[in-house]
Amino acid sequence: MAGSLIKIDEEIVTSAVASVTLTGIDSTYDVYMLKVANVQPSVDTKNLRLRVTTSGTPDTNAEYNWAAKGLNSGTTFFNNAFTNETTWYLGQGGTGTSELINFTVYLFNFNNPSEYSFCTLEGSYLSSAPQLQGIQGGGVYHNTVACDGVNIFFDATCDIQSGAILTLYGLKK
């Protein structure tokens, strides 16, 4: 894959922020990749979420369907599936030492207003137990509109702590 990832946008969080928006998705690439590292919430046990952006603004309508398989080193796996949500789910984080969320999301059809945008995701995070947890799944944004980016945030009243690195890449054709 060397040379096939083209950096489009990046945010290195240096002080707590409510959300991060990465834009720059256009017709240049068919597939984009979002790489997120070292994300931690300011409030314990919060869910990390993702929304698409249109004209740089996050879409908050109930147009997100997603499903995922959760893997847990301390207990059994879990299955989640939701329709007509206002976000895609990426994982759950905590405030303890090393409770960081890391994941990769591939974004498809984002700039095509004739088809639904969708994603696949793989992530891992450490719980307070401590137990390593993983997630693999995907989602569909069921609206035919051109999307130009993504917005990443935790549940209400929770910031993304400093140290997080969020990068959007285009995959060279």
Per residue in 15-35, pLDDT (tens digit) is 999 999 999 999 999 999 999
CA distance 93 to 29: 31
Residues 6+ apart with CB under 8 A from 97: none
Instruction: Dump the DSSP string for 132-167.
Output: EEEEEEEEEE-S-S---EEEEEESSS-PBPTT-EEE
User: What pTM did the predictor assign?
Assistant: 0.93
Tell me the CA distances in angstroms from 130 to 4, 92, 93, 97, 127, one per residue in order: 36, 13, 12, 10, 5
Task: Measure the CA–CA gap between 64 and 160, rounded to whole angstroms.
Answer: 22
Kindly indicate the confidence band of residue 1, based on its pLDDT and cuts at 50, 70 and 90. Answer: low
Number of domains composing the chain: 1
For residue 65, being part of any structural domain is answered with yes
Q: pLDDT at residue 157 above 90? A: no
Task: Please indicate, yes or no, if residue 75 is contained in any of the structural domains.
Answer: yes
155 within a domain of the structure (yes/no) = yes
Pairing of strands 165-171, 19-23: unpaired
**Mean pLDDT of all residues in 79-89:** 93
Question: pLDDT of 35-56, one tens digit each?
Answer: 999 999 998 888 899 999 999 9
Task: Provide the domain limits for residue 94.
Answer: 27-171
Reported as a pLDDT band with limits 50, 70 and 90, residue 150 is very high
19 and 89 Cβ atoms separated by less than 8 Å: no
Residue 24 near residue 8, CB atoms below 8 Å: yes
Report yes or no on 141 lying in a domain: yes
Q: What would the pLDDT profile of 89-137 be if each residue is shown by its tens digit?
A: 888 888 877 788 999 999 999 999 999 999 999 998 877 667 788 899 9
3-state SS, residue 105:
strand
pLDDT band at 2 (very low <50, low <70, confident <90, very high): low
In a domain, 153, yes or no: yes
Bridge partner list, 167: 10, 35
